[in-house]
């Protein structure tokens, strides 16, 4: 049997696409190889949001090209955002690539690879296609968790971001299709859903006037599906976070008390240069409104340091917002200029050493606050969805709370079960505890 291997870079959207890529390849009769070394068809599902994933890909491609020189029958397929962004240059950059395809053309992968991975059509394919992968066969990594894509593309114009250029304008999936998928997933035993979109809470706007559903109603409809115990969504844009969505989170039993609310910067001056269309004050107001409406809410965020023109004062304003809002988790990024974006051409790019210095100060603050917030959970009981044994210690189980904190705990439970865990210790990233009674099976 011919074998494939998929290496995934980037966001949850890509992780979701990779499940579809695997599903498609298995439908073609290929089996999964443990590593790219053992694979006849090697797929890289790429990301290009910052320079780092580009560099990581370069290292992987070096190895893959060397293996292909030994065995020219190996097929190298490059999918995802890097392939799409570099569509003109991809075969110059990486001559070993056989097939290049964009995020919207996974459905056609089979046509190019041929049955069983033989008879490959060499070239770049469908780099401009925009089809939802959601209707394709899938290979879920975990039977009890699933991603559901609600939209693709993004209409925002954040000046640092390459995504709108890569993924195109926002296109919402119709609510009927989304709910049919959710129902199918629930019937197959899925308990936790994550609704995915580049800007989930502007979902539905492009369906007007035919369909008048906004994101809050979609959350409510998913909540009504029997068997779905947890609903998450990512990522919302603060500018589109309206009251009906806050109310839906507060009122729907399955919608988790966890919101990822990208801040990017705490300086209104920089937010303007980033074209985020909200100010520091409006963001704080929104966060406070959400905390007041949703009991026990966990807030996560994304922050960029070293955006062009960032002064010490701007940076201090970011630190102030981080302290004020009190995030439970934060992804922090060093600004990375991306060719073709507005910000890459701005003057006053921040020197690398200064970016690193600010990053260290930010990470220290983020970790202190997250640790304090996790320590406040000690002594409580938390509902945990069991993911299986811990990766580092097989005698311990691992799972996540509704607030999306990872928990390592002692107990006896199967992956996919909901259990009550008494929290006994905390770090900035994880909780530790021991299992109490089974809640439900």
Residue list 149-208, contact with ligand SF4 (CB under 6 A): 163, 166-167
Give min distance, CB of 336 to ligand 5AD, in A.
4
Phi, psi (degrees; rounded to nearest 5) at 169: -75, 155
As a residue count, the chain comes to 441
DSSP 92-142: HH-TT--EEE-TT-GGGHHHHH-GGG-S---EEE-TT----GGGS----SS
The residue among 382, 356, 175 whose CA lies nearest residue 298 is: 382
Tell me if 333 contacts ligand 5AD by CB under 6 A.
yes
> Contact with ligand 5AD (CB under 6 A): which of 79, 262, 308, 433?
262
The residue among 338, 317, 203, 204 whose CA lies nearest residue 263 is: 317
Residues with Cβ < 8 Å from 403, sequence gap 6 or more?
256, 257, 258, 296, 297, 298, 328, 382
Q: Which is nearer to ligand SF4, 48 or 267 (CB)?
A: 48
Range in contact with ligand 5AD (rule: CB under 6 A) among 125-133, 209-217, 224-232, 333-341: 333-341
Q: How far apart are the first and last CA of the chain?
A: 38
Query: What count of other Cβ atoms lies within 10 Å of the Cβ of residue 37?
Result: 11
CA distance 18 to 60: 17
Q: Which is nearer to ligand SF4, 234 or 405 (CB)?
A: 234
> Contact with ligand SF4 (CB under 6 A): which of 3, 7, 11, 67?
11
Q: Which is nearer to ligand SF4, 80 or 399 (CB)?
A: 80
Q: Which is nearer to ligand SF4, 14 or 194 (CB)?
A: 14
Select the binding partner of residue 302 from ligand 5AD, ligand SF4, none (C-beta < 5 to 8 A, by kind). ligand 5AD
DSSP 45-101: EE--SSHHHHHHHHHHHHHHHHHHHH-TT-EEEEEHHHHHHTTTTHHHH-TT--EEE
Give min distance, CB of 22 to ligand SF4, in A.
16
Select the binding partner of residue 167 from ligand SF4, ligand 5AD, none (C-beta < 5 to 8 A, by kind). ligand SF4
Tell me if 315 contacts ligand 5AD by CB under 6 A.
no
Q: Which is nearer to ligand 5AD, 8 or 408 (CB)?
A: 8
Residue list 33-72, contact with ligand SF4 (CB under 6 A): 47-49
Residue corresponding to tokens 């609310």: 261
Token pair for 348: 């006053």
CA distance 65 to 96: 6
Token pair for 172: 């919402």
> Contact with ligand 5AD (CB under 6 A): which of 338, 358, 402, 432?
338
Residue corresponding to tokens 């959350």: 219
Burial class (CB in 10 A: 0-12, 13-18, 19+), 22: buried
Give min distance, CB of 304 to ligand SF4, in A.
13
Tell me if 21 contacts ligand SF4 by CB under 6 A.
no
| DSSP SS3 for 236 | coil
Residue list 73-102, contact with ligand SF4 (CB under 6 A): 80-81
Tell me if 426 contacts ligand SF4 by CB under 6 A.
no
Strands 99-101 and 31-32: unpaired
Give min distance, CB of 388 to ligand SF4, in A.
26
Token pair for 14: 């890509």
Tell me if 82 contacts ligand 5AD by CB under 6 A.
no
Q: How many residues in the shown chain lie near ligand SF4 by CB under 6 A?
A: 12
Tell me if 161 contacts ligand 5AD by CB under 6 A.
yes
Question: What is the contact surface with ligand 5AD in residues (CB under 6 A)?
Answer: 49-50, 160-161, 262, 264, 302, 304, 333, 335-336, 338
Question: What is the contact surface with ligand SF4 in residues (CB under 6 A)?
Answer: 10-11, 13-14, 47-49, 80-81, 163, 166-167
């Amino acid at each position: 049997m011919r074998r494939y291997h998929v290496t995934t870079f980037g966001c949850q959207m890509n992780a979701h696409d990779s499940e579809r890529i695997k599903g498609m390849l298995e439908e073609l009769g290929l089996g999964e190889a443990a590593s790219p070394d053992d694979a006849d068809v090697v797929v890289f599902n790429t990301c290009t949001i910052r320079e780092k994933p580009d560099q990581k890909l370069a290292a992987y491609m070096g190895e893959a090209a060397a293996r292909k020189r030994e065995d020219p029958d190996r097929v190298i397929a490059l999918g995802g955002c890097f392939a799409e962004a570099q569509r003109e240059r991809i075969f110059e950059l990486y001559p070993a690539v056989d097939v290049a395809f964009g995020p919207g053309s996974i459905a056609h992968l089979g046509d190019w690879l041929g049955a069983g991975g033989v008879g490959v059509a060499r070239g770049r394919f469908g780099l401009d296609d925009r089809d939802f992968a959601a209707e394709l066969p899938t290979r879920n990594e975990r039977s009890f968790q699933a991603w559901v894509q609600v939209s693709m593309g993004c209409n925002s114009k954040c000046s640092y971001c390459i995504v709108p250029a890569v993924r195109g304008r926002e296109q919402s999936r119709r609510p009927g299709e989304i709910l049919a998928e959710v129902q199918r997933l629930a019937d197959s035993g899925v308990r936790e859903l994550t609704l995915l979109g580049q800007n989930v809470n502007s979902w539905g706007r492009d369906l007007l006037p035919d369909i008048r559903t906004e994101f809050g109603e979609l959350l409510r409809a998913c909540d009504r599906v029997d068997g779905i115990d947890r609903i998450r969504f990512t990522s919302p844009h603060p500018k589109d976070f309206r009251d009906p969505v806050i109310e839906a989170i507060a009122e729907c039993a399955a919608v988790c008390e966890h919101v990822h609310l990208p801040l990017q910067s705490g300086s209104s001056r920089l937010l303007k240069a980033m074209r985020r269309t909200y100010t520091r004050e409006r963001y704080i107001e929104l966060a406070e409104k959400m905390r007041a409406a949703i009991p026990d809410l966990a807030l996560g965020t994304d922050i960029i340091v070293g955006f062009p023109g960032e002064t010490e004062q701007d940076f201090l304003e970011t630190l102030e917002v981080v302290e004020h809002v009190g995030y439970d988790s934060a992804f922090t990024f060093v600004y990375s200029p991306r060719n073709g974006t507005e910000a890459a051409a701005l003057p006053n790019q921040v020197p690398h050493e200064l970016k690193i210095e600010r990053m260290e100060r930010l990470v220290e603050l983020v970790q202190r606050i997250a640790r304090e917030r996790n320590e406040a959970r000690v002594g409580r009981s938390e509902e945990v969805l069991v993911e299986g044994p811990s990766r580092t210690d097989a005698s311990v189980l691992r799972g996540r709370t509704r607030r999306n904190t990872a928990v390592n705990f002692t107990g006896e439970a199967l992956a996919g079960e909901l259990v009550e865990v008494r929290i006994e210790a905390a770090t900035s990233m994880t909780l530790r505890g021991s299992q109490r009674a089974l809640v439900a099976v």
